[in-house]
Amino acid sequence: MDATALAQTAVSGLANGALYAFVGLAFGLVSRSTGLINFAQGDLTMLGAMLAAAMSDAGAPLLIAVPLAAVGCAAIGGGFYFFAIRPSTRATMSQLIIITVGLSILIRGAVTSLWGTDPKQVPPFTQGAPIAFGGVSVLPQQLWLIGILALVAIATAWFFRRTTLGLALRASAANPVGASFVGIDPRLLGLFAFAAAGFLGGLAGAVWSPIAYAQVDIGIGIGIKGFTGAILGGLYTAFGPLIGGVLLGLFEAFTAGYVSSHYEDALIFALLILVLLLRPRGLLGGSAGATNDQKPEEILSASARPTTFRRRDIIGIVTGIVALGIIGAVLPAVWVSTAIFTGMEAMIVIGLVLLTGFSGQLSLGQPAFMMIGGYASAYLTVRSGWPPILALLVGIALSASVALIMGRIIFRLHGFYLSMASLGLLMIALTFAREWSGITGGPSGFVGIESFSLLGVRLASDTAVYYTVAAFAVISLLFGMNIARSRIGRALLAMRSSESAARACGVEVVGLKMRIFAFSAATASVSGSLYGHYLSIVNPSPFGLDATIQQLTALTVGGFLSLWGAFAGSLLTVALPQVIGWISGSAESQLIAGVEYILFGVLLIGIVMAQSSPMLYRLRRRLGRRGAASVVAASERAP
Amino acid sequence: MTTPVLAVANLSVRFGGLRAVSDVNFTVEENEIVGLIGPNGAGKTTIFNAIFGMIGPTSGHVLFRGRDITGLPPERIAQRGMSRTFQNVRLFGELSVRENVMMGAYGAGRCGIIASIARVGRHRRLEQLAAERADHWIARLGLSAHAGMLATALPLGLQRVAEVARALASEPRLMLLDEPAAGLNEIEKGKLGELLSTAAAESGCALLLVDHDMQLVMGVVGRVIVVDFGRKIADGSPAEVACDPAVIEAYLGA
């Protein structure tokens, strides 16, 4: 390799690195002042690019369009904090992160409805040919991007070192309670952090967009890379995200140029997991073990959760099984596939209830386990001629192993690393599914999977598939119930209120979280296997982030701690797009897609806000106490 | 001579340049109630945390029932038969009082997720054991009327009692109590003191009490260990310690 090519790669890496550095700084601002990971950060960047492009298309000069786009994103970020995050005072961290997922879909829905999914571009700030520096050609826009980042870096340093607000932000990050005693309002800082993060993100998008085209779905990728850069450099340090972002840009450019352009994304997420394993505080973050940024999870329930089986549970299960049987017999044919998809979704959500609801760990990567199950079933039944049930079990074993290994790395750390790391896992899985065509069939996937069979009986008709899925869903529910209504369920709830007290009772916290993650991976894997058998095809497209969003919405709608709710939530999220399709009829499909996103976003944000508003909480708590009081009264009356 | 239930040998803990605990030695015998007292900042809580594995000691050893437990994580120490309560009560907010106390018996046996899903006999026996122990201690400590209530809905005095019940449900050989009197009024302190003495006598477990509330400590314990500036300055019966000049100076002087 010659020096010129090397330098050329470095230049493009630096330019992308500047983008990641911006986004990483924005992540850091929000995390340092509120402890949250703002999942919508990448989408705010995408929105910045889109807004600037739209204004410039409408004839606005860049000098106005670019700052206005950044200010627009700042307003959205700040407004989002003020109207959605701040009022949700009783929300758990997982719920708050889910609200930011809601914002992410809202932004994508709005962009899709307004401008469609076609790429847009902001014209370069200065016209002219690439500038040559001794054989290395540099686009003027790349210089703009790097130059503006340098200015922002200097401004950030000045802000944190020299201004009262910057000092207050650092103080509040170090000790929120202490800071509030000297008159620093943490909510004001949250507002500032979200607005500033929106500004940084929007500005980055608008300045970067002339180099590459902006599209509605680039936000997630930019978001994860910015986050990875921030972790690499040190999320909780002032300049770590900056240095980490630039390093990540270079790493990306060099792996794409010299290692593999196909697996470049997978390598980046592998790097994220490696950094979390070896140096969770980042390069600038010092070497002390795990970070300690987790506020104790708030209490989700207003009354004591039952952790032993009651008669109600048994009646419920029997009624449920009978109802599922009757439904299968009387359901009109058009609804059978809806019921099948609902059942497959419910299995995943049952896993999430235990993982996110009971143990307070948010995974955004469950579709990765669906893919492991789906592809294992496809490969082993089609290529190796295995019986489907064996292939399904292999899928479970693979998924659970991956979850155990990943959990071992992540759960040593306090905080919400699982949400981003699991997203990284999903991206790796998607990359492998698309690129490793020898095994996975590439983008078009595996075709010709036969329907599921058991003991030689092929279950091919829609009704047979319905009963198969219903059986697996009921088994998942029973397994989930047996976990929730036992010492394990108690230990999970205990761990979430006080990890140290749970450990003092002999609970092995990391091991338990790992095993619950493995359980949730197993149910998702079964769902994926059945999906492949039902549609007779697996390819990467249904396992993207849309699937994650659907699962999170189902979890939120059904209730974080309700295994029964998993079915209701899944039914709603599976049926809703169909209903929208019927209502809209022949309307433009792009608009429908946009409206669907907006609807899911509103659902997520609205429900979490309703669940965590203090008023509703107090009401439920009062009712709960009355219930408890009547129990006490009854026990006193008993002889 | 019998093996002491707890032996702390040459224990030192440093935080950076600060020697929080230096070279502390003491033992707690079976069935003994020992107080660990000292002025604020003397290193009591640090000793406590080092014993229970919340922090690793810089040097020295902690022997529990004759076996070295230095450096073990708290959950392993708990499984070996030591339990503790917290200064700022840490009951599980989403569980009822009874379920909180049942959690105390969690470490009584190992039984994982798969065993729970399959509801094997071991799982059922553990659940039954937890329920029996919980009902026993709830009745013994007078919490029966509150068993079904959300634990955090109890007044502080009862929350402390519930925490003691949870700690006792593990059938510990040694229970560490971190400032059990903090935030209680005189009457509640008196009741808690009596309750601790009877509970210790009944369960046959030794107690190590950390407190600077002399009233509770002196009324309950058989022996007092006094620390100041991270060093042990006295070890003896309450009466002896109360007239020890070094102790008087630590509390009143300088």
Closest CA to B45 of B200, B230, B216, B182: B230
d(CA A81, CA A65): 24
Q: Is the pLDDT of residue A636 over 80?
A: no
Q: Provide DSSP, A396-434.
A: HHHHHHHHHHHHHHHTTS-SSHHHHHHHHHHHHHHHHHH
> pLDDT category, A448, cuts 50, 70, 90?
confident
Residue B212 is predicted with a pLDDT of: 74
d(CA B36, CA B24): 12
Mean pLDDT of A170-194: 77
d(CA A318, CA A342): 19
Inter-residue contact A63 to A57 (CB < 8 Å): no
CB contact under 8 A, A487 and B111: yes
Q: Quote the minimal CA–CA distance from A494 to chain B in Å.
A: 5
Q: Least CB-CB distance to B75: which of A506, A629, A636?
A: A506
Sequence length of chain B is: 254
Q: Is the pLDDT of residue A567 over 50?
A: yes
Q: What's the complex ipTM?
A: 0.92
Residue A286 is predicted with a pLDDT of: 59
Q: Can you read off the two tokens belonging to residue A73?
A: 């994103």
A325-334, A619-628, B5-14, B227-236: range with lowest mean pLDDT = A619-628
Pairing of strands B174-178, B82-85: parallel
Q: Which CATH entry fits the domain spanning A310-580: 1.20.1300, 1.10.3470, 1.20.120, 3.40.50?
A: 1.10.3470
d(CA A165, CA A565): 44
Q: Can you read off the two tokens belonging to residue A71?
A: 């200010």
CB contact under 8 A, B113 and A304: no
- Over the stretch B169-201, which tens digit does the pLDDT of each residue have? 999 999 999 888 888 888 888 888 888 888 888
Q: Provide DSSP, A215-281.
A: -GGGHHHHHHHHHHHHHHH-TTSSSHHHHHHHHHHHHHHHIIIII-SSSHHHHHHHHHHHHHHH-TT
Residue A302 is predicted with a pLDDT of: 53
Residue A295 is predicted with a pLDDT of: 46
What is the DSSP secondary structure assignment for residue A383, as one 8-state letter?
I
> Higher-confidence residue: A453 or A176?
A453
Residue A623 is predicted with a pLDDT of: 61
Q: Is the pLDDT of residue A475 over 90?
A: yes
Mean pLDDT of A225-229: 90
> Which stretches of A86-208 are DSSP H helices?
93-115, 140-162, 164-174, 176-181, 186-208
Residue A586 is predicted with a pLDDT of: 62
Closest CA to B225 of B1, B13, B20, B43: B43
Residue A333 is predicted with a pLDDT of: 83
Q: Can you give the C-alpha Rg of chain A in angstroms?
A: 25
Centre a 10 Å sphere on the Cβ of residue A612 and count the other Cβ atoms it contains: 20
Q: Quote the minimal CA–CA distance from A625 to chain B in Å.
A: 8
Residue B109 is predicted with a pLDDT of: 82
Q: Is the pLDDT of residue A294 over 50?
A: no
| Helix-, strand-, coil-residue percentages of chain B, each rounded to 5 | 45, 25, 35
Single-letter amino acid, residue A505: C
**Beta-carbon-side half-sphere exposure of residue A459 (alpha carbons within 13 Å):** 20
Say whether domain A3-260 belongs to CATH 1.10.3470.
yes
- Over the stretch A35-45, which tens digit does the pLDDT of each residue have? 788 889 999 99
Q: Is the pLDDT of residue A376 over 60?
A: yes
d(CA B241, CA B233): 10
CB contact under 8 A, A479 and B117: yes
- Over the stretch B76-124, which tens digit does the pLDDT of each residue have? 999 999 999 988 889 998 889 999 999 999 988 888 888 888 888 888 8
Residue A366 is predicted with a pLDDT of: 94
Q: Is the pLDDT of residue A290 over 50?
A: no
CB contact under 8 A, B150 and A624: yes
Residue A511, H or E segment: helix A509-535
Closest CA to A595 of A575, A578, A580: A580
Adjacent-strand bridge partners of B11: B24
> pLDDT category, A524, cuts 50, 70, 90?
very high
Residue A301 is predicted with a pLDDT of: 54
Mean pLDDT of A23-33: 88
Mean pLDDT of A602-622: 77
CA-to-CA dists, residue B39 to A628, B130, B185, angstroms? 42, 38, 20
A416-420, A458-462, A525-529, A582-586: range with lowest mean pLDDT = A582-586
Q: Does B92 touch chain A (CB under 8 A)?
A: yes
Among A350, A490, A637, pick the best mutation site for testing chain B contact (most B Cβ within 10 A). A490
Query: How far, rounded to the nearest angstrom, does the alpha carbon of residue A570 sit from its chain's CA centroid?
Result: 18
Mean pLDDT of B7-28: 88
> pLDDT category, A631, cuts 50, 70, 90?
very low
**Residues of chain B with C-beta less than 8 angstroms from the C-beta of A301:** 94
**Residues of chain B with C-beta less than 8 angstroms from the C-beta of A491:** 103, 106
Query: How far, rounded to the nearest angstrom, does the alpha carbon of residue A551 sit from its chain's CA centroid?
Result: 10
Q: Does B31 touch chain A (CB under 8 A)?
A: no
Q: Does B17 touch chain A (CB under 8 A)?
A: no
Residue A618 is predicted with a pLDDT of: 66
d(CA B172, CA A485): 26
CB contact under 8 A, A498 and B90: yes
**Residues of chain B with C-beta less than 8 angstroms from the C-beta of A629:** 149
**Residues of chain A with C-beta less than 8 angstroms from the C-beta of B121:** none
A371-375, A491-495, A558-562, A584-588: range with lowest mean pLDDT = A584-588
Single-letter amino acid, residue A228: T
Q: What is the mean pLDDT of chain A?
A: 84
Q: Does A500 touch chain B (CB under 8 A)?
A: yes
Centre a 10 Å sphere on the Cβ of residue A638 and count the other Cβ atoms it contains: 5
Pairing of strands B206-210, B33-37: parallel
Q: Is the pLDDT of residue B254 over 70?
A: no
d(CA A397, CA A379): 15
**Residues of chain B with C-beta less than 8 angstroms from the C-beta of A505:** 78, 83, 103-104, 106-107, 166, 170
**What is the pTM (predicted TM-score) of this model?**
0.89
Q: Does B49 touch chain A (CB under 8 A)?
A: no
d(CA A635, CA A632): 5
Mean pLDDT of B149-157: 87
Mean pLDDT of B142-157: 88
Q: Is the pLDDT of residue A293 over 50?
A: no
d(CA B64, CA A414): 29
- Over the stretch A496-516, which tens digit does the pLDDT of each residue have? 888 889 999 999 999 999 999
Inter-residue contact A3 to A10 (CB < 8 Å): no
Q: Least CB-CB distance to A508: which of B75, B96, B153?
A: B75
A291-295, A301-305, B138-142: range with lowest mean pLDDT = A291-295
Mean pLDDT of A522-540: 93
Q: Is the pLDDT of residue B135 over 90?
A: yes
Mean pLDDT of B39-46: 83
Closest CA to A94 of A341, A412, A422, A368: A422
d(CA A78, CA A523): 38
Where exactly does CATH 1.10.3470 map onto chain A?
3-260, 310-580
- Over the stretch A330-345, which tens digit does the pLDDT of each residue have? 888 888 989 999 999 9
d(CA B46, CA B161): 24
Per the listing, tokens 């400032």 go with B179
Q: Is A214 helix (H, G, I), strand (E, B) or coil?
A: strand
Q: Is B96 helix (H, G, I), strand (E, B) or coil?
A: strand
What backbone torsions phi and psi does residue B14 show, to the nearest 5 degrees?
-115, 140
Per the listing, tokens 């005095």 go with B157
> pLDDT category, A157, cuts 50, 70, 90?
confident
Q: Least CB-CB distance to B92: which of A488, A497, A624?
A: A497
Inter-residue contact B16 to B58 (CB < 8 Å): no
**Residues of chain B with C-beta less than 8 angstroms from the C-beta of A519:** 113
d(CA A175, CA B20): 23
Q: Which of residues 135-194 of B touch A (CB under 8 A)?
A: 144-153, 166, 170
Among B150, B159, B164, B176, pick the best mutation site for testing chain A contact (most A Cβ within 10 A). B150
Percent of chain A, pLDDT > 70? 91
Residue A394 is predicted with a pLDDT of: 95
CB contact under 8 A, A493 and B92: yes
Inter-residue contact B42 to B34 (CB < 8 Å): no
